[in-house]
Structure 1
């Protein structure tokens, strides 16, 4: 019997993940059965179960795949010293991440935003998935925090704000943009970049924080 190459095994696993991601984004986790996945990828039960024991394992694999891509894209960007400004940093990470599953829909739009919304909802009932998400989030917070410290060391950002506060805000911006795309339709990453650039251009006039001067 001819030995199956690793390339073939990897391609088959990717085929299953892509088909499952497409279904999950379209119909949700709970409305998608393993039979639906088998039909979508046009494979036998034995071929699919060779890689994944069931739907929960498929979901976890997709989540790890997406989060791994986010981590890799961020690490690539922050190799620069100092890292690019926040608008370019966020845009580069988000743009690469959205491209992970951009070829799966007929319209060519990424299925990632609705998929991530499904993941967030699933963590309420799935403790294992919640643990995976929490672990990666902690790792990203630390990495983005180091990027903020590099900004501060380079004089690009005020040093009087805790780096973790800025990191959490940058991550929240990405999360919010993904939620907007899932709920209200896609928008180019440049929209987020432009908004961040405008906010970054504001002066820090503490006087306007006095309510008496706000009318």
Structure 2
């Protein structure tokens, strides 16, 4: 927290005037970034016809790239995920926030199935979970490995979906 307060160029008292705890800060940052992602997914869900899944993934990953390349808060996602393993309050926050993205991914799978782009016997909940995992996997790779080519990643997703 001291690093965050220093980076924000605030006194401890000023910081705690805005946020009552570390968890409240995590909620604010995660909520803002996830809000951007859910707005992209909401636009996709409203589109008629809905774009192909690889294009949807590409749109979300473009947001991820902009945040990471700009030093944005997506960089702390992995730290928050790690904190969620040890802190039940953070785990609840993460489950609620990321649950919104996962639920939209399930809706995307349902729409893809209804449009005939997904096998009729596919489980939309399972497919939505896999789509959500592809986004998290990309974030992990970008942060842990470094320069991962988004186009190449999306082409890999395209090949998986086509196979």
User: How high is the TM-score relative to the length of structure 2?
Assistant: 0.86
Rg (Cα) greater in structure? 1
- Counterpart in 1 of 2:16? 49
Alpha-carbon spacing, 1:63–1:98, altered in 2? closer, same or farther (3 Å): same
> What is the count of residue pairs matched by the alignment?
163
Counterpart of 2:131 in structure 1 is 170
Distance 1:142 1:55 in 2: 26
Report the 3-state secondary structure (helix = DSSP H, G, I; strand = E; otherwise coil) of the residue aligned with 1:87: helix
| Correspondent of 2:63 among 91, 96, 100 | 96
Counterpart contact for 2:142–2:148, Cα < 8 Å: yes
CA contact (8 A) 1:77 1:93 kept: no
Give distance in 2, aligned partners of 1:67 and 1:111.
Answer: 11
Does the 8 A contact of 1:81 with 1:150 survive in 2? no
Q: Mind listing any 5+ residue stretches in structure 2 that lack a counterpart? A: none
Name structure 1 gaps, 5 residues minimum.
Answer: 1-32, 105-109, 203-215
Alignment partner, residue 28 of structure 2: 61
Structure with greater contact order relative to length (CA < 8 Å, sep ≥ 6): 2
Q: In 2 relative to 1, CA 56–201 (structure 1 residues): closer, same or farther, beyond 3 Å?
A: closer
CA contact (8 A) 1:77 1:92 kept: no
How far 1:145 sits from its partner (Å)?
Answer: 1.7
Distance (Å, rounded) in 2 between the aligned partners of 1:139 and 1:38: 29
Match status 1:125 vs 2:92: no
Task: Say which SS state the counterpart of residue 175 (structure 1) adopts.
Answer: helix
Residues in 2 aligned to 1:146 and 1:172: alpha-carbon distance in whole angstroms: 15
